[in-house]
A and B are shown apart, each in its own frame.
Chain A
Amino acid sequence: MARKGEVDADTRLGGLYVGSLLREQLWLAVRTLALLTVTIGSLPVVFHVLPGLASVHVGPVPVAWLVLGLASYPFLVVLAWRYIRRAERNEAAFAELMDEVER
């Protein structure tokens, strides 16, 4: 039986195929969100622990304004772009697997 048939008939093997795609995608999402948490998400703690950081300036601009107000946006875009590339790679691998006919 072709692998698509396994998925359509909801056999144990079919369940494994879909389950592994689901796990790959979820794991990728968790990794991306973990990266978001330890970078942007950790800033309040960093500024809480190091109160002196608030008075550091780069030129006329306080460092918090620079990091949050400027640098965070391109960083979010990069994270999103990386995620999309990897998520589509996972899906392409799944599609390839489905299209192979077992011999």
Chain B
Amino acid sequence: MDAAPGIVAIVLVTVATLALGAYGLRFSRTTSDFMVASRAVGPRMNASAISGEYLSAASFLGVAGLLLTFGADMLWYPVGWTAGYLVLLVLVAAPLRRSGAYTLPDFAEARLGSTAVRRTCSLLVVGIGWLYLLPQFQGAGITLSSAVGGPDWLGSLVVGVVVLLNVTAGGMRSITLVQAFQYWLKLTALLVPAAVLLVVWLGDGRPGAASPAGDTFPGDVVAWSDPLAAGGPQGLYLTYSLIIATFLGTMGLPHVVVRFYTNPDGRAARRTTLLVLVLIGFFYMIPPVYGALGRVYAPELAAAGSDSLVLELPGLMLGGLGGQVLTGMVVGGAFAAFLSTSSGLAIAVAGVLSQDVFTRPFRGRRLSGVTGFRAGAVVAVVVPALVALSDSDVGVATTVGLAFAVAASTFCPLLLLGIWWRGLTTAGALAGLLTGGLGSGLAALLTLYTAQSDGWLDVLLRRPAAWSVPLALLVMVVVSLATRRTAPAHVTRFMVRLHTPEAVALDRG
């Protein structure tokens, strides 16, 4: 493939990102600016920023490739990633904003008044953040080496450096603008080539799927049109487990949650969520076009690493300058996807690290808030970038799916019970977090680092959410009931704060 359009696109996206970050920098001064943009971000800007941050490499590249290879059951990824925001809206959006906490550990501490729960939550935020950052860096390596040649580690390095520069320089205030810009960039970069390629397909006389070329190509049209994973009951389990992980995991993703604190109030938090649903729903209608056209024009990619389908399809369908321009667009969009998601995750992890590690007094000295945040950002980016260099060949969307499963098994029960049930106790929360975290976390590690088989045990480990989420919820409720007397005394005041509209002047503790 000609490297020029890809290089031009990557340079343009990088320069635009750094320039916007520098522009936003003029407004970032206080710790509050760094952490939550001083809570002055309106719903439209915030929704663009959330969507820009949320649409990662898995959405931009992974979904289309999975659709090409496996067919309709992979539609559950984008549908679940969108429906997750509906679940978040109805169960946590407004109360979470009204809780007045900066991060998930802040929320846990405010609700339960326990530093042990706080520490556990901090660990989980860092773990989920790193699990989610890993595929971003790996994907960046694949993209760069497929689009412009060059070794795999180069892409990880470039993404890591740009993210670090932006995040350490400006924090949340400057990154909000960057993320909002990147949503529209990614949408354009996926939509315009899709529209052109559809016209090309019409011009070719609407050819059907290529005839199965050997057994590398999953030729069975029926299986490809079935929204169930293959394998009867196992397929049904896998499908529902994916649904549970994505529907319930969104609310527990640290980089999503941290954005809700930047809303001015609970009403704005709800409006932001509705707009996010519109923006990402619209985006997710596009990858199926690539998946279906790939079946017609690029069936050989189905077997050979389908993550590159979006990058290669324009060049395969359209020669000459047109193909080069479109290739440049998708490469730029993919690169924007790595940058925005990694930045959001880096901010979330850095926020937690700086609060819980770097601004604690150490030998009588302590770092200032902004310096601590910067130190946190360095650790947040460097660790997963190093791990990404040692390779694992699990697909981008699979690793992201595991991050969702861990989030759904830990923070989802904590948020649900913390917001809607007065009876939650410290012991209950800790027991539930440990059960869900260990269960889904071990399953994730085993899936990433051991060979796969087709047995039930392997199926249960590959998509743990369907058992780990109910288990964590159950443990949290049962242990809370057993330690009923230790329920925090301020819970009534806290419930008033979570659920009453800000316009009513009440004592919120």
A residues engaging B (CB < 8 A)?
4, 7-8, 10, 15, 18, 21-22, 25-26, 28-29, 32-33, 36, 40-41, 43-45, 47-48, 51, 54-55, 57, 60, 62-65, 68-70, 72-74, 76-77, 79-81, 83-84, 87-88, 91-92, 94-95, 98-99
Contacts and interface: CB of A to CB of B under 8 A. Distances in A.
A22 B495 CA distance: 8
Contacts of B240: 44
A48 B281 contact: no
The main secondary structure of chain A at its interface with chain B is helix
A69 B226 contact: no
A32 B90 contact: yes
Interface of B: 72, 75-76, 78-79, 82-83, 85-87, 89-91, 94, 206, 208, 221-228, 235-236, 239-240, 243, 267, 270-271, 273-274, 277-278, 281-282, 284-285, 288, 292, 420, 492-493, 495-496, 499-501, 503-507
A15 to B, nearest CB: 7
B228 A44 contact: yes
Contacts of A18: 492, 495-496, 499-500
B504 A15 contact: no
A44 B79 contact: no
Given A44-B236, A72-B79, A77-B281, A33 B87 contact: yes
B427 to A, nearest CB: 23
Contact of A95 (B86, B239, B496, B501): B501
Contacts of A21: 499-500
A69 B288 contact: yes
25 contacts: A7-B507, A8-B507, A18-B500, A26-B420, A33-B90, A33-B91, A44-B236, A47-B228, A48-B235, A54-B226, A62-B224, A64-B227, A72-B79, A73-B79, A73-B277, A73-B281, A73-B282, A76-B83, A77-B277, A80-B86, A81-B274, A87-B90, A88-B267, A91-B501, A94-B501
A98 B273 CA distance: 27
B297 to A, nearest CB: 15
Q: Which 4 A-B pairs have the closest CB atoms?
A: A73-B281, A62-B225, A54-B226, A29-B90
Given A18-B495, A54-B222, A73-B284, A84 B274 contact: yes
B506 A4 contact: yes
Contacts of A48: 228, 235-236
A83 B88 CA distance: 12
Contacts of B227: 43-44, 47, 54, 64, 68
A7 B506 contact: yes
A64 B226 contact: yes
Given A40-B83, A47-B226, A68 B75 contact: yes
A33 to B, nearest CB: 6
A44 B288 contact: no
A29 B224 CA distance: 35
A80 B235 CA distance: 29
A41 B84 CA distance: 12
Contacts of A94: 500-501, 504
Given A44-B227, A62-B225, A4 B274 contact: no
Given A40-B79, A76-B82, A87-B270, A98 B285 contact: no
A4 B90 contact: no
Contacts of B235: 48
Contacts of B85: 76, 80
A64 B134 CA distance: 32
A80 B82 CA distance: 11
B135 to A, nearest CB: 23
Contacts of B273: 80
Contacts of B223: 54
Contacts of B284: 73
Contacts of B285: 69-70, 73
